[in-house]
Amino acid sequence: MFWNKEIECMDEEKLRELQLKKLKEVVKRVYERVPFYKKKFDEKGIKPEDIKTLDDIKYLPFTSKMDMREAYPFGLFAEPLSEIVEVHTSSGTTGKPVVAGYTRKDIELWAELIARSLTMIGVTKDDIIQIAYGYGLFTGGLGFHYGAQKIGATVVPASAGNTRRQIELMKDFGTTVIACTPSYALYLAEYAKEEMGIDPSALKLKKGSFGAEMWTEEMRKEIEKRFGIEAYNVYGLTEIIGPGVAHECPAKNGLHIWEDHFLVEIIDPETGETLPEGQEGELVITSLSREGMPMIRFRTRDITTLHREKCDCGRTLARIERIKGRSDDMIKVRGVMIFPYQIEQAILEVQGVEPHYQIVLTRPHYLDEIEVQVEMSKEVFSDDVKTIENLRKKLEKRVEEAVGVRVKVTLVEPKSIPRSEGKAKRIIDKRNLK
Amino acid sequence: MHKVEIISIFVENKPGKLEKITKILADSQINILGFSITSVKDFGVIKIFVDKTQEAYQLFKEKGFAVAITPAIGIEIVDKPGGLHEVVKFISSKGVNIENALVYVPESRKKAFFIFEVDNFEESLGALKNNGYNLLTKDYIK
């Protein structure tokens, strides 16, 4: 199903024309209105008129998260506060939060993006959608809220947390669609079954839109199995607009980017060079339609691959692969780059172990040590120490193969790793790097 | 039926873990008749032989433990020098391999049972039955 078929299935040439027109406009706007951009453009000796083709975007400077922190709070706004009707911030776990400002038109744009995304996976006005992303400064809750209302679906604004009530609502209201983080979805299923005696697959739930954290195909299968639903991947970020920048279609083969509003590039994170199509690298996004806070070449730190081949669903818009890693999440252990997703995938491959794990980094004797704590699952528990030890060794071997450094795997008791109601905290870094 | 059951619980090798388990049993008035602990570095398996097996199993499950029930055979040992040796010799003579074991003493200085898990329960039990040895039954535990 399409929300805006004309755009979603647009002829590629026309799409490029539209993008170029919008790119020229947005570059001119930020140059004239945002001193931060003017300064950066001038430093590089580039004027808005120099952008003649889409390719010329490579002459424009990147914008980083660091730049955004320096511009805190409103330094990147291209409209006066009188035109800004809403602000959101990132979690700010590693410093000052990033602030995003939205004009009324930006909010409408956001709703359109989510409406397209949800319609794409078959959500209609007859659905009851429970939004279990946090409402508030976080973009997840309200972004989905606007989009789901635009479709005309019945919105249950449950927000994050209060797990028992979430399940009661799902059961009593007959919720058909859920939107939350994938780790919270798994927790919901577990809680329903074990704390409330409710079989999650017996609920009326049909599909879910999951995002705001990295997850894997294995986790998708697990969520689909436990709830008996179709699980889709959503992508977005506060700096650009929030959730809805890209979303999976029923083909589940990459996330379509709404290219009429976002111009994407894949770059080599080390050199900043643009990479050819089909090569893995860092996603860079330029927002073409934002009024309140347009972004020029924002470095997302997200690692993915871009595909332009036509999709089975009929959409012509490019797809990004599921986010593979985040340079911020990347951990360097003994000089080797490790992404948590590699570890997660390895654990899940060793059948039967529930995807609850934590990575603990220590440096006991001037050398990094990496410990992966994996919860023993009730399903695979054997009464025999030998069998359990074999499972542990198998896990250790698979994780080591996946990351390329020595790893210690520890099996811990069920439910001993704290459950998160938002983004899962996977890494505990106890190394004293001072 | 000469089948008894042992409860196995997965535990991390940390102070206070055994205490958590014994407290659950004590609070529910479940009597421990025998137990054993096996540990490998960071984790271990605690095996308990109790009077109310099903009740204990449900309790641990509800409390979120990784727990399992395993069938076992109990064979009476005469309380005298060489008593265990004689029983073990008999078991091995029947080609039965002992996996995990614990001891249950219903009457101090009088009667004891050697309780053990085996690879193939039915087959092993068949081999050991009707050889003049007293095998433990569930009824006896009550």
Mean pLDDT of A261-282: 89
pLDDT on residue A354: 57
Task: Tell whether B55 and B87 lie within a shared domain.
Answer: no
Which has the closest alpha carbon to A344: A405, A426, A420, A281? A426
Task: Tell whether B26 and B61 lie within a shared domain.
Answer: yes
Residue of B nearest to A390 (CA): B40
Total structural domains in chain B? 2
pLDDT on residue A421: 64
Find out whether A340 and A329 touch, Cβ atoms under 8 Å.
yes
Find out whether A76 and A89 touch, Cβ atoms under 8 Å.
no
Q: Any bridge partners for residue B64, and if so which?
A: none
The answer to whether position A434 is within a domain reads: no
Candidates B10, B18, B58, B100, partner chain A, best to mutate (most A CBs within 10 A): B10
pLDDT on residue B105: 87
Partner A, chain B 25-64, Cβ-Cβ below 8 Å? 38-40, 42-45, 47, 61, 64
Task: Tell whether B35 and B92 lie within a shared domain.
Answer: no
Residues of A within 8 A of B61 (CB-CB) are 378
- Which of B70, B100, B122 delimits the end of a domain? B70
Task: Tell whether A251 and A353 lie within a shared domain.
Answer: no
Give pLDDT tens digits for A84-121.
999 999 876 556 789 999 999 999 999 999 999 999 99
Can you give the residue range of the structural domain that contains A399?
Answer: 331-429
Which residue has better confidence, A377 or A157? A157
Task: Tell whether A274 and A337 lie within a shared domain.
Answer: no
pLDDT on residue A321: 95
Can you give the residue range of the structural domain that contains B92?
Answer: 73-141
- Give the confidence band of A351 by pLDDT, cuts at 50, 70, 90: low
Which residue has better confidence, A380 or A250? A250
Task: Tell whether B61 and B116 lie within a shared domain.
Answer: no
- Which of A292, A327, A362 delimits the end of a domain? A327
Task: Tell whether B66 and B18 lie within a shared domain.
Answer: yes
Average pLDDT, chain A: 91
Residue B60: which CATH number? Answer: 3.30.2130.10
- Which of A327, A353, A376 delimits the end of a domain? A327
pLDDT on residue B142: 57
The answer to whether position A199 is within a domain reads: yes
Task: Tell whether A41 and A65 lie within a shared domain.
Answer: yes
| Among the ranges given (A69-73, A195-199, A334-338, B105-109), the one the predictor scored with the smallest mean pLDDT | A334-338
Mean pLDDT of A202-211: 97
Residue of B nearest to A386 (CA): B40
Task: Tell whether A262 and A377 lie within a shared domain.
Answer: no
Which pair of tokens denotes residue A126? 């007859």
Cβ-defined contact of B10 to A384 (cutoff 8 Å):
no
**Residue at token pair 């989905």:** A144
Task: Tell whether A248 and A321 lie within a shared domain.
Answer: yes
The answer to whether position A197 is within a domain reads: yes
pLDDT on residue A432: 67
Q: Please give the sequence-ordered ranges of beta strands (E in DSSP) within A48-132, or none if there are none.
A: 84-89, 99-103, 128-131
Task: Tell whether B50 and B65 lie within a shared domain.
Answer: yes
Q: Taking an 8 Å Cβ-Cβ cutoff, which residues of chain A contact chain B?
A: 194, 376-378, 381-385, 388-389, 392, 410-416
- Give the confidence band of A377 by pLDDT, cuts at 50, 70, 90: confident
Task: Tell whether A319 and A340 lie within a shared domain.
Answer: no
Task: Tell whether B82 and B135 lie within a shared domain.
Answer: yes
Task: Tell whether B82 and B131 lie within a shared domain.
Answer: yes
Give pLDDT tens digits for A41-70.
999 999 999 999 999 999 999 999 889 888
Helices then strands, counting H and E runs in chain B, come out as 5, 6
Total structural domains in chain A? 2
The answer to whether position A135 is within a domain reads: yes
Segments of chain B with pLDDT less than 50: none
Q: Give the nearest partner residue to B12 out of A383, A389, A413, using CB atoms.
A: A413
pLDDT on residue A177: 98
Give pLDDT tens digits for A125-147.
999 999 999 999 999 999 999 99
Task: Tell whether B96 and B137 lie within a shared domain.
Answer: yes
Task: Tell whether A195 and A256 lie within a shared domain.
Answer: yes
Task: Tell whether B16 and B64 lie within a shared domain.
Answer: yes
Q: Please give the sequence-ordered ranges of beta strands (E in DSSP) within A78-135, or none if there are none.
A: 84-89, 99-103, 128-131
Task: Tell whether A267 and A380 lie within a shared domain.
Answer: no
Residue A386: which CATH number? Answer: 3.30.300.30
Task: Tell whether A382 and A343 lie within a shared domain.
Answer: yes
Q: Please give the sequence-ordered ranges of beta strands (E in DSSP) within A294-363, or none if there are none.
A: 298-304, 306-307, 319-320, 325-326, 331-333, 336-338, 357-362
Residue B135: which CATH number? Answer: 3.30.70.260
Q: Give the nearest partner residue to B10 out of A194, A381, A410, using CB atoms.
A: A381
Task: Tell whether A107 and A235 lie within a shared domain.
Answer: yes
- Give the confidence band of A8 by pLDDT, cuts at 50, 70, 90: very high
- Give the confidence band of A208 by pLDDT, cuts at 50, 70, 90: very high
Task: Tell whether A68 and A197 lie within a shared domain.
Answer: yes
Give whole-number Cα distances, A383 to A78, A104, A273, in Å.
Answer: 64, 61, 55
Mean pLDDT of A223-229: 97
Task: Tell whether B97 and B132 lie within a shared domain.
Answer: yes
- A/B interface, count of CB pairs below 8 Å: 57
Give whole-number Cα distances, A266 to A18, A51, A257, A280, A325, in Å.
Answer: 20, 19, 13, 7, 14
Task: Tell whether B91 and B112 lie within a shared domain.
Answer: yes
Residue of B nearest to A410 (CA): B42
Q: Give the angle subtended at the CA of A370 by the CAs of B17 and A64, to the nearest 5°.
A: 125
Residue A308: which CATH number? Answer: 3.40.50.12780
Query: How many other C-beta atoms lie within 10 A of the C-beta of residue A221?
Result: 12
The answer to whether position A95 is within a domain reads: yes
pLDDT on residue A146: 98
- Which of A294, A327, A360 delimits the end of a domain? A327
Task: Tell whether A346 and A415 lie within a shared domain.
Answer: yes
